[in-house]
């Protein structure tokens, strides 16, 4: 399979060099489709002018077929031969980038084939679902805060122990009031949660996000379908070449052993058809390579965009969850402040003073009984 082009600038006009899957360099004339193992000289123009079509270095159609199919094709995508090809370098080494690890297809638990790009898309859609569930979780937290605040406010108005007197009565009244203050703190907390955490979670990447993902999906899927179609054309052309080669071989053998009255003209005709079939195969392979190159480029570009979107999602949610913890710490601080007046009054509770105040208000007389005189 022709691999990446190299040294094309220093070659004669119309020639390009490729690396075969086993690592051997070969050359192709883009105009005439002549293929040879030997590097063409600057005087090489065409097969007829240079006579290179008879050169021992010319690649035969059998070798051409071998070149096209020595690399494994998996689901119509061509991969290098693991044992013979030089080890590929990662596009973004040490980054665990999406563009390096999702080229092959895989099987899902139901046995269906899933492309690497579909795996990346599923990650994006799953992230959107996780974001939605986080927003629902915060909504439940808000409901709890609102219900808690409502119950605290209600409890603060209960007339229980309202007749307690003295310094203890003042502390008790302040404790009940602190419940109302605490209820207000939790109401504010729930309101801030809604505005600063829940709402941003819901609005981050709105309805257009799934539409954008579908566009990516359709674009890459269309390129993959085109690749499948071109691979089928290569297969068809390869089979046609094999048939033409077999027909030429049979006619040649029959002529040599004089089992047929086929003339050399018939042989030349068969040879021309075989050559044409080889040219057709080269053209199909070239179209296939162009299609795979386009698919490769779009896969890299799109996977890097999905990677950027995932980083953005994680960092955004991280920021929102940090805001949650900040609000939670503030709530604790405000709750603590509601207890400070209670603490102060509790420190001022004085049983002796309470007794004095109560006695002054409720005394019935300070004359004590004495013995009876007769």
Q: What would the pLDDT profile of 94-153 be if each residue is shown by its tens digit?
A: 999 999 999 999 998 999 999 999 999 999 999 999 999 999 999 999 999 999 999 999
Cβ atoms 339, 178 nearer than 8 A = yes
If you average pLDDT over residues 281-306, what whole number do you get?
A: 95
Q: How far apart are CA 100 and CA 21, in angstroms?
A: 20
What was the pLDDT predicted at 219? 96
Q: How far apart are CA 96 and CA 124, in angstroms?
A: 17
Whether residue 58 has pLDDT greater than 80? no
Q: How far apart are CA 130 and CA 140, in angstroms?
A: 15
Cβ atoms 241, 277 nearer than 8 A = yes
The angle, 0 to 180 degrees and rounded to 10, between the axes of the packed helices 116-156 and 208-256 is 160
E runs forming strands in the chain: 15-19, 25-29, 35-36, 73-74, 77-78, 106-107, 113-114
Range with the poorest average pLDDT among 76-85, 198-207, 330-339: 76-85
Cβ atoms 173, 308 nearer than 8 A = no
Q: How far apart are CA 310 and CA 232, in angstroms?
A: 36
Assessment of whether the complete model's pTM goes beyond 0.85: no
Closest CA to 184 of 139, 145, 138, 137: 145
Neighbouring CB atoms inside 10 A of 308's CB total 11
Q: How far apart are CA 44 and CA 50, in angstroms?
A: 6
Whether residue 244 has pLDDT greater than 70? yes
């Amino acid at each position: 399979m022709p691999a990446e082009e190299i040294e094309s600038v220093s070659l004669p006009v119309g020639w390009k060099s490729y690396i075969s899957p086993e690592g051997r360099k070969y050359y192709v004339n883009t105009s005439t489709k002549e293929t040879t193992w030997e590097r063409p000289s600057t005087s090489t123009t065409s097969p007829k002018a240079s006579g290179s079509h008879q050169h021992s270095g010319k690649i035969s159609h059998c070798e051409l077929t071998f070149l096209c199919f020595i690399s494994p094709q998996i689901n119509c995508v061509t991969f290098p031969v693991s044992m013979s090809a030089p080890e590929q370098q990662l596009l973004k080494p040490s980054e665990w980038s999406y563009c390096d690890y999702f080229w092959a297809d895989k099987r899902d638990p139901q046995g269906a084939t899933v492309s690497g790009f579909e795996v990346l898309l599923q990650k994006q859609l799953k992230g959107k679902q996780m974001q939605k569930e986080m927003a629902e979780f915060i909504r439940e937290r808000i409901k709890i805060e609102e219900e808690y605040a409502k119950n605290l406010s209600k409890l603060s108005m209960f007339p229980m122990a309202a007749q307690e007197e003295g310094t203890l009565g003042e502390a008790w009244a302040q404790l009940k009031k602190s419940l109302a203050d605490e209820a207000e703190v939790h109401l504010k907390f729930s309101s801030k949660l809604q505005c600063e955490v829940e709402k941003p979670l819901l609005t981050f990447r709105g309805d257009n996000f799934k539409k954008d993902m579908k566009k990516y999906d359709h674009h890459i899927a269309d390129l993959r379908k085109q690749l499948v179609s071109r691979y089928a054309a290569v297969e068809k052309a390869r089979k046609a070449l094999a048939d033409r080669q077999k027909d030429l071989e049979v006619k040649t053998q029959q002529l040599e052993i004089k089992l047929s009255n086929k003339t050399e003209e018939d042989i030349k005709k068969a040879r021309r058809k075989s050559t044409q079939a080889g040219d057709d195969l080269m053209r199909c392979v070239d179209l296939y390579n162009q299609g795979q190159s386009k698919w490769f480029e779009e896969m890299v570009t799109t996977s890097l965009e999905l990677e950027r979107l995932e980083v953005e999602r994680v960092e955004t949610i991280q920021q929102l969850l940090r805001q949650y913890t900040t609000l939670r710490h503030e709530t604790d601080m405000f709750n603590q402040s509601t207890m400070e007046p209670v603490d102060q009054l509790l420190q001022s509770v004085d049983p002796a003073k309470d007794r004095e105040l109560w006695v002054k208000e409720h005394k019935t007389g300070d004359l004590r009984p004495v013995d009876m005189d007769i």
